[in-house]
Chain A
Amino acid sequence: MSESMNAGAPVLAVRGAHKTFGKLKALEDATLELFEGERLALLGPNGAGKTTLLRSVTGRVRLDRGAIELFGHEEPPEARRRAIGVVPQEIAIYPLLTARENLEAFARLHGVSAGDLAGRVEWALRWTGLADRAKSLVRDFSGGMKRRLNIACGMLHRPRIVLLDEPTVGVDPQSRERIYEMLEEFRAGGATLLLTTHHLEEAEGRCDRIAILDHGRLIASGTLLELIEQTVGAARDVVLTLERPAAGGLDGFQVSADGRKLTSRVRDVGAELPALIARAQDAACAIEDVEVRRHGLHEVFLHLTGRELRE
């Protein structure tokens, strides 16, 4: 989803959020906007304030200053919790309850009516692919199954906005794929998703927009292409791998230490790549491979924060 698709008012907005814990400034004029139907990835190094921001949205953290708007209005925390689904990073379900018992319990806690409860539980069991394990104790589940149930327990009350904190942490690629299929299916029903992740490829490939938080402040937001344009630029790196080390330096190329890789930055690959190859061949270089590298979120993140995501 591009910026042009965000024409409407945000369904969730955090404005000028400040929160201090002792001497630690967890949030410092943090802002965030979430638009209807989008998937927003919230990224930031550890300690950047992501969890504090999410907890403030649900009213579990009281802001020192700032406002949180839900559907254009400032609502009390109780009202926000009713409208929002929260999926914590921890497997926060009861291991000694069955899958069905967990779903029933959290449905009741979320205020699902008695008449609606059975239907919602059945939906969740089908949605998570756990219908055949409905009567099994959760402690016997695989990590992926627990993770899917963990997500479902936060969505039983049909929230229009869902906050997911690292929804795929610790699961294998197949389970991760299954989880994103689930989330896509849920979003297709009209929900808006805000998720934090340490998997940059998930943020790149699974989300419409990306917001980057650092030191309690939003430092960038937009689509991946927009972020690249704003930071490292749209130029590509062309890497020529040679059969033998180059005899000496070549104009317009950076030569690797072993002399076998020549790197050059180009803005227009189609127009500039043939000339680069010709120049290398003119210098008696035998080219073994050509690679064109696009800058991605990793470079954007490093450019903005100066840190790796996991630091």
Chain B
Amino acid sequence: MIGTLLRISRTNLRRDRVAQMMVFVLPIAFFSVFAMVFGRPDSGTGRMPHISVAIVDQEHSAESRDLIAELKRDSNLTVQDSIAIEPGASSPGDGGAAPRRALTREDAVAMVHDGRVPAAIVLPSGWKPGIGMAGAQRGARAEVLADPSDPIASGAVAGVLQEAAARPLMRALARAHGADSTDEQLGLPAPTVIHDVAGPRHRDDRPHSIAYLAAGFGVMFLLFSCSGGGGVLLDEQDTGTLERVLNTNVGMTQLLAGKWIHLTLLGCLQITVMFTWGALAFGLDLLHHLPGFAIMTLFSAAAAAGFGLVLATLCRTRQQLMGIANLLILPMSALGGSMFPRTLMPPVVQKIGLLTFNAWAVDGYTKVFWRESPLTSLIPQLAVLAALTIVFLTIARLLARRWEAI
């Protein structure tokens, strides 16, 4: 009896491709994404994400140059300590290569502010890489300029900086004092201080990550709700209501348009509720970002609604829809930055993430809430979301032909 039941279950699973994907492929995909972010197999450390970091050397000492060299050798970091000189500016000479100049603190602040790097290191004048013996005077503290939207990156950079600063010193002191020297004898490098870099309204201590969380999770659940909402088409197919509606004066294009508008408005409401809750409960500054929020929400909801209709028109049953929705939305959300910042991912994974709806939507919200960029800076995100909407709606319309006259 039990054998018969097992055989039925096994046969069902063998014939259900979606269930197979859910059971086998999705967990592996998730594991792989997280492994790439938090445990790069090539790093050897198994704990450090890859981070791009800008470095400003205001000390110009042998120690500071050693430290930068040390950081450049770290395979977990992509270090940038110079910038191309703009046309017309004076060239310091760069050995015949494209003219470049060393980064200034202002450059680094701008790079972090604009999201080009998640963190920057400033070695101020008077900085020393830690003083040998206990009791010795410590130099000026190194500074990490942090993007508050990416606290993991700034924390990791601070840790790497400490380690890199200590390494040459420890080697030198070990040679002088022998291999049995202790940290107390060697002393620790001068501690770093982490400064958030954000727009003028973010200079207080409010939790900036709330906006990121609201955007990331909001966008992910927008996809879930739109795919669920699109599934109403399948419910109507099962109850006969869809057939009945198509027997009236309503055409398929009108029907889909009605559903799309409904899902778009529903999505706008969902995101608005989430951000409003963030404002009320966690101090998210929604009021000062209303125009950017409104336009990003409208475009994101429109694209997500189109995505929901694609799934609904693609699937034959509600059960299949839920399976495929999970299969697509969870990896999209992981790769697209809904679960953790894309800046933590290796560059190639970041590029793959750009193929997802989430990445563009989350990037847009990031520009609005953290970078306080002008609305015109949202044009790339809005253009992509609009293009996705058109593509999704076109696909949904084509797939919906199965419900038209056969």
Question: Which residues does A use to contact B, with CB under 8 Å?
Answer: 21, 58-62, 77-78, 81-82, 86, 88-94, 106, 109-111, 153-154
Contact = CB atoms under 8 A, between A and B. Distances in A.
Interface in B203-248: 239-241, 243-248
Contacts of B245: 109
Enumerate the 6 nearest inter-chain pairs by beta-carbon distance, A residue then B residue, closest first: A90-B240, A92-B240, A109-B248, A92-B244, A86-B247, A111-B249
A57 B89 CA distance: 78
B241 A81 contact: no
Interface string B248-259: 111000000000
Contact of B405 (A60, A88, A89): A60
Given A21-B406, A59-B405, A111-B249, 9 more contacts: A86-B244, A90-B239, A90-B240, A92-B240, A109-B245, A110-B248, A153-B244, A154-B244, A154-B247
A106 B248 contact: yes
Interface string B296-339: 00000000000000000000000000000000000000000000
Contacts of A92: 239-241, 243-244
Contact of B239 (A91, A106, A154): A91
Contacts of A77: 405
A81 B247 contact: yes
A59 B248 CA distance: 11
Contacts of B249: 78, 81-82, 109-111
A93 B341 CA distance: 46
Contacts of A153: 244
A17 to B, nearest CB: 14
Contacts of A60: 243, 246-247, 405-406
Contacts of A61: 405-406
15 contacts: A58-B247, A60-B246, A60-B405, A61-B406, A62-B406, A77-B405, A81-B247, A86-B244, A92-B240, A92-B241, A92-B243, A110-B249, A111-B248, A111-B249, A154-B247
Nearest to A56: B405
Given A59-B405, A60-B405, A61-B406, A81 B244 contact: no
Among A58, A86, A89, A92, which residue has the most Cβ atoms of chain B within 10 A?
A92
Contacts of B248: 81, 106, 109-111
Contacts of B405: 59-62, 77
A89 B246 CA distance: 15
A109 to B, nearest CB: 4
Contacts, number: 49
Contacts of A78: 249
Most buried by A among B244, B246, B247, B248: B247
Nearest to B250: A109
Contacts of B241: 92-94
A81 B245 CA distance: 11
Interface of B: 239-241, 243-250, 405-406
Contacts of B239: 90-92
B250 A88 contact: no
Main secondary structure of the interface of A (DSSP, over half): loop
Contacts of A82: 249
Contacts of A86: 244, 247
Given A78-B249, A111-B249, A88 B406 contact: no
Contacts of B247: 58, 60, 81, 86, 88, 154
Nearest to A153: B244
A114 B9 CA distance: 54
A90 B248 CA distance: 16
Nearest to A58: B247
Contacts of A106: 244, 248
Nearest to B241: A92
Contacts of A58: 247
A78 B251 CA distance: 9
A171 B246 CA distance: 26
Nearest to A106: B248
Question: Which of A60, A61, A62 is packed against the most chain B CB atoms within 10 Å?
Answer: A60
A88 B246 contact: no
Contacts of A154: 244, 247
B182 to A, nearest CB: 73
A78 B248 CA distance: 9
Nearest to A84: B247
A271 B248 CA distance: 57
A183 to B, nearest CB: 18
A62 B405 CA distance: 6
Nearest to B238: A90
A126 B248 CA distance: 23
Contacts of A111: 248-249
A235 to B, nearest CB: 44
Contacts of A93: 241
B347 to A, nearest CB: 49
Contacts of A110: 248-249
Nearest to B406: A61
A276 B141 CA distance: 125
Contacts of B244: 86, 88, 92, 106, 153-154
A89 B240 CA distance: 9
Nearest to B254: A109
A12 B154 CA distance: 77
A227 to B, nearest CB: 30
A152 to B, nearest CB: 13
Contacts of B243: 60, 88, 92
A54 to B, nearest CB: 10
Contacts of B246: 60
Contacts of A89: 240
A45 B138 CA distance: 96
Nearest to A85: B247
Nearest to A81: B247
A60 B245 CA distance: 11
Nearest to B245: A109
B244 to A, nearest CB: 4
A226 B239 CA distance: 38
Give the one of A21, A82, A88, A153 with max B CB within 10 A.
A88
A117 to B, nearest CB: 14
Nearest to B404: A60
Nearest to A105: B245
Among B240, B245, B248, the one with the most A-chain Cβ atoms within 10 Å of its Cβ is B248
